[in-house]
């Protein structure tokens, strides 16, 4: 989906990925992330948000909660992270990264609520009063007051399958009253997901979803009760080209994720957006079956294919790879993505590097993640490699202490 954009706007990342793989410095099944592009994108997002009066939280799951990416993006002006589940929060804590928003899209399991509250997030989203009570108990034990958001919905709102949940709009006043009786939590706003979407049938135009209007109505209900609404949190497809729409409707907080890596759907279809694609998936040709070549999988994602864009690039040097586009048979569905299937196989040799560009959720893969800095200056530097669980690894791909990474990140930011 993004290969042509990578070729056009970040060829240095592609060349570096081939060089690193062919030198044996990164294994097959690795996402390589360009930290210079991350910083550039984050500055664009931060300045756009600031100009519109918006605050930001970073959705880190797309890049497997990687601390290099997160801290570089924060240094460029973005805010605390969104812990989309408790694992996100724990991984952020491991590397000393502040959490801004917890509880959305996953609620915090009951017996982990004290751990979550102890991290002092700015807000926690709740889907029911039971979770608000558990948070209130934990906050009372710790002598703090925890701010909450409520997730709201109404008939006709849009949810991805399995992500449903929250309070119905007609329950907002009753829920606010129940939370208001608790002593150590404070209701401060509303949220839902997704609040904006791309309409590919209308020139890739970004437009509000019904969810956004539900959030706005719920905020007005709270204000009518005398409650100070400090957050109207509007996640989904957040990038510099969508922020103005959200701000114009009254949003206060946005949560860029794929926007940080320049990989929203709009970035695939348009070449004029300021954010650049910042990562590429690296694999290796394993074997052939008939006319097809098979590359190692683990991070293969069945994304949309854009006609005219190479599905994959294959070769043993960048000069060879850039001119050898082959088709990635993305329509082949696998329960486990053991391989990426490519055609024509005659253009691929075992051991060749394979580059694939698509929008992904790295935390859902079995892939390694490797960050590179200095590409904008022609001086690429490979940093600590991580596995899919955000575990830092040494050269032998054995676990090392998070303290090593903290020091390396601090050194990078000092430059």
**Domain positions in the chain:** 1-39+258-415, 79-255
- At 298-357, the pLDDT tens digits run 999 766 666 667 889 999 999 999 999 999 998 888 889 999 999 999 999 999 999 999
Burial of 295 (0-12, 13-18, 19+ CB in 10 A): buried
Answer whether 84's CB lies under 8 Å from 191's CB.
Answer: no
Tell me, what's the pLDDT at 201? 62
Tell me, what's the pLDDT at 85? 96
Say how far apart CA 201 and CA 57 lie, in whole Å: 29
Cis peptide before 288 (omega within 30 of 0): no
Tell me, what's the pLDDT at 33? 98
Whether the full predicted model's pTM is greater than 0.85, yes or no, is: yes
Answer whether 233's CB lies under 8 Å from 190's CB.
Answer: yes
CA atoms within 13 A of residue 294's CA, in its CB half-sphere: 12
Confidence bin at 369 (pLDDT 50/70/90):
very high
Answer whether 116's CB lies under 8 Å from 153's CB.
Answer: no
Q: How many CB atoms lie within 10 A of CB 89?
A: 25
As a dihedral over the C-alpha atoms of residue 284, residue 6, residue 383, residue 298, rounded to 10 degrees, the angle is -40
Q: Give the dihedral sign, CA 13/16/22/24.
A: negative
Closest CA to 125 of 105, 109, 141: 105
Tell me, what's the pLDDT at 305? 64
Tell me, what's the pLDDT at 203? 53
Domain 79-255 carries which CATH code?
Answer: 3.20.20.10
Say how far apart CA 310 and CA 293 lie, in whole Å: 15
Confidence bin at 199 (pLDDT 50/70/90):
confident
Please enumerate in sequence order all residues whose Cβ is within 8 A of that of 47, keeping only pairs 6 or more positions apart, or say none. 77
Tell me, what's the pLDDT at 120? 98
Token pair listed for 162: 């399995």
Q: What is the mean pLDDT of residues 91-101?
A: 97
- At 44-84, the pLDDT tens digits run 999 999 999 999 999 999 999 999 999 999 999 999 999 99
Token pair listed for 108: 């915090």
Token pair listed for 407: 């020091």
What does the DSSP 8-state code read for residue 204?
T
- Farthest-apart Cα atoms in the chain, separation: 70
Architecture of domain 1-39+258-415: Beta Barrel (2.40)
What does the DSSP 8-state code read for residue 225?
T
């Amino acid at each position: 989906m993004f290969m042509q954009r990578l070729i056009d706007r970040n060829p240095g990342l592609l060349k570096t990925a081939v060089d690193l793989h062919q030198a044996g410095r990164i294994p097959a099944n690795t996402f390589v992330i360009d930290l210079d592009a991350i910083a550039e994108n984050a500055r664009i997002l931060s300045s756009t948000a600031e100009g519109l009066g918006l605050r930001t939280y970073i959705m880190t799951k797309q890049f497997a909660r990687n601390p290099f990416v997160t801290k570089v993006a924060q240094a460029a002006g973005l805010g605390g992270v969104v812990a989309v589940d408790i694992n996100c929060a724990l991984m952020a804590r491991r590397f000393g990264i502040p959490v801004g928003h917890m509880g959305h899209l996953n609620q915090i399991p009951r017996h982990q609520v004290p751990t979550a509250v102890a991290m002092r997030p700015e807000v926690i989203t709740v889907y029911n009063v039971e979770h608000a009570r558990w948070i209130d108990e934990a906050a009372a034990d710790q002598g703090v007051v925890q701010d909450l958001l409520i997730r709201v919905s109404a008939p006709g709102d849009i949810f991805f399958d399995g992500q449903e949940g929250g309070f119905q709009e007609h329950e907002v006043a009753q829920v606010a009253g129940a939370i208001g009786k608790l002593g150590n939590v404070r209701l401060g706003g509303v949220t839902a997901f997704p609040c904006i979407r791309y309409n590919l049938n209308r020139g890739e135009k970004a437009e509000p979803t019904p969810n956004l209007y539900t959030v706005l109505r719920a905020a007005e209900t709270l204000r009518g009760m005398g409650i100070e609404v400090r957050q109207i949190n509007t996640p989904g497809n957040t990038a510099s080209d969508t922020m103005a729409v959200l701000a114009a409707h009254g949003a206060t907080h946005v949560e860029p994720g794929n926007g940080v890596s320049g990989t929203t759907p709009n970035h695939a279809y348009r070449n004029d957006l300021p954010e650049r694609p910042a990562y590429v998936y690296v694999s290796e040709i394993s074997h052939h079956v008939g006319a097809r070549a098979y590359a190692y999988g683990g991070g293969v994602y069945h994304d949309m294919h854009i006609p005219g864009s190479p599905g994959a690039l294959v070769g043993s040097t960048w000069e060879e790879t850039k001119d050898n586009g082959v088709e990635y048979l993305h329509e082949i569905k696998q329960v486990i993505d053991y391989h990426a299937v490519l055609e024509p196989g005659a253009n691929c040799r075992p051991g060749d590097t394979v580059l694939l560009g698509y929008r992904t959720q790295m935390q859902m893969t079995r892939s390694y993640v490797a960050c590179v800095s200095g590409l904008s200056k022609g001086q690429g530097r490979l940093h600590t490699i991580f596995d899919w669980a955000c575990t830092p690894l040494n050269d032998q791909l054995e676990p090392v202490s998070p303290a090593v990474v903290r020091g390396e990140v601090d050194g990078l930011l000092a430059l």
